[in-house]
C-alpha cells in the first residue's frame, strides 16, 4: 500500500498546485474583468477560484486523513469520480453554449474547465495505481 499512498500524495500535490494557480488567476481575473462583456469573464474567474478553493480544502483534509485501506474500493471511487467529472464537463458546456445569460455562460466555461482538469488528474491517478496488491 506504500505505492498507493505515494501516488495519492502525488495526486493531492498536483491538485493543490492546479487549484492554487487558479485561485490566484481567479482573483486577478476578477479584478481585471471590466464592462462591457465583463460579466461573462468575471463569472468565469469567480467560479474557477471558488471551485479551486473547495479543491484546496479537500486536499488539506485529505493530507490529514487516513490512507485508503482497500485498493479495489479506491479504484471504484476513482471510476465514479471520472463519471462525475464527465458530467461536470457536459453540464458546463451546456450552460456555456446554451444560456443566453453572459454570467451563466462564464460560469459554464469555468465548470467545463475544472471538470476537464479533474478528469485528467483523476485519470492519471487511476492509471498509476496498481490493479492488485502483492500478497
- 135 within a domain of the structure (yes/no): no
pLDDT above 90: residue 12 = yes
Cα separation of 39 and 101, whole Å?
Answer: 9
Burial class from Cβ neighbours inside 10 Å (0-12, 13-18, 19+) for residue 64 reads exposed
Helix axes 102-128, 2-32, angle to 10 degrees: 160
The predicted pLDDT at position 66 comes to 80
pLDDT digits (tens, 9 = 90+) for 21-35: 999 999 999 988 876
Give the percent of the chain with pLDDT over 90.
77
pLDDT (0 to 100) of residue 36: 64
Contacts 24+ apart (CB under 8 A), 96-104: 102/37, 102/39, 102/40, 102/43, 103/39, 103/40, 103/42, 103/43, 104/43
Q: Say if residues 74 and 132 touch (Cβ distance below 8 Å).
A: no
Q: What is the pLDDT of residue 135?
A: 57
Residue range 61-91, pLDDT digits in tens = 998 878 788 899 999 999 999 999 999 999 9
**For the residues of 16-33, what is the DSSP string, one character each?**
HHHHHHHHHHHHHHHHH-
What's the length of the chain? Answer: 135
Which grid cell sits at 9? 500524495
Query: Does a structural domain hold residue 133?
Result: no
Q: How many domains does the chain have?
A: 1
pTM: 0.91
Residue 84 lies in a domain: yes
In this structure, is residue 134 part of a structural domain?
Answer: no
Query: Does residue 115 lie within any of the structural domains?
Result: yes
Q: Which domain covers residue 30, as residue numbers?
A: 2-128
Report whether pLDDT(18) > 90: yes
* Distance in angstroms (rounded) separating the CA atoms of residues 79 and 119: 10
Amino acid at each position: 500500500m506504500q505505492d498507493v499512498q505515494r501516488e495519492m500524495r502525488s495526486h493531492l500535490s498536483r491538485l493543490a498546485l492546479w487549484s492554487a494557480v487558479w485561485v490566484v488567476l481567479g482573483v486577478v481575473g476578477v479584478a481585471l474583468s471590466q464592462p462591457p462583456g465583463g460579466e461573462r469573464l468575471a463569472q468565469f474567474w469567480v467560479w474557477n477560484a471558488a471551485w479551486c478553493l473547495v479543491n484546496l480544502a479537500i486536499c488539506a483534509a485529505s493530507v490529514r486523513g487516513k490512507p485508503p485501506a482497500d485498493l479495489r474500493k479506491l479504484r471504484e471511487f476513482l471510476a465514479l469520480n471520472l463519471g462525475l467529472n464527465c458530467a461536470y464537463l457536459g453540464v458546463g458546456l451546456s450552460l456555456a453554449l446554451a444560456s443566453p445569460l453572459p454570467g451563466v455562460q462564464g460560469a459554464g466555461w469555468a465548470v467545463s474547465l475544472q471538470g476537464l482538469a479533474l478528469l485528467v488528474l483523476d485519470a492519471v491517478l487511476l492509471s498509476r495505481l496498481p490493479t492488485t496488491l502483492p500478497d
